[in-house]
C-alpha cells in the first residue's frame, strides 16, 4: 500500500501569509495526487487534482506542484475562508490513501 505523509500536521498563520504544505508518498505515484479542503463539521471539497489542476471555483491563490513522491500545496495570501484542514490523496492505486491532514489555524 502507498503511505501518504503530510507535514506539518498543523500550522498557525495570519491572513495574507503564504502557506506551504508538503505531502510525501512512500512510492512513486507520478502525478496521481489530489488535494482536498475540509472545514469543521463539513464534508471535504476537492481543491486540486492531478497535482496542479484547480477544481472549478477554487481561487487562484491555491496552487500545487510536484511529481513522483514529493508534492506541495501552496496558498498565496491566506484568506479567512482558507482556515481549514487540508488532505492529500493518492489516486495511483487501490487502496486509495489520504495523508493525515494539515490543520491551518489562525495565528
Pick out residues in 8-67 that bind another protein (CB under 8 A): 32, 34, 36, 38, 42-46, 49-50, 53, 55
Neighbours of 19 (CB within 10 A): 19
Nearest one of 11, 81, 7 to 39, comparing CA atoms: 81
Nearer of residues 37 and 82 to another protein, judged by Cβ: 37
Pairing between strand 70-75 and 19-25?
antiparallel
Nearest to 81 by CA among 19, 36, 39: 39
Residue found by looking up cell 477554487 in the block: 58
| Nearest CB to another protein, comparing residues 17 and 52 | 52
1 touches another protein by CB under 8 A: yes
79 binds another protein (CB under 8 A): no
Alpha helix (H) ranges present in the chain? none
Residue number with CB closer to another protein (17 or 58): 58
Q: Which residues bind another protein (CB under 8 A)?
A: 1, 32, 34, 36, 38, 42-46, 49-50, 53, 55, 87, 89, 91, 94-101
Amino acid at each position: 500500500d502507498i503511505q501518504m505523509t503530510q507535514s506539518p500536521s498543523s500550522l498557525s498563520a495570519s491572513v495574507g501569509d503564504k502557506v506551504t504544505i508538503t505531502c510525501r508518498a512512500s512510492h512513486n505515484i507520478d502525478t496521481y495526487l489530489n488535494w482536498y479542503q475540509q472545514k469543521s463539521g463539513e464534508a471535504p471539497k476537492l481543491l486540486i487534482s492531478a497535482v496542479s489542476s484547480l477544481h472549478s471555483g477554487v481561487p487562484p491563490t491555491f496552487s500545487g506542484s510536484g511529481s513522483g513522491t514529493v508534492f506541495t500545496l501552496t496558498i498565496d495570501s491566506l484568506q479567512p475562508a482558507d482556515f481549514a484542514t487540508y488532505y492529500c490523496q493518492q489516486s495511483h492505486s487501490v487502496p486509495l490513501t489520504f495523508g493525515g491532514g494539515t490543520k491551518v489555524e489562525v495565528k
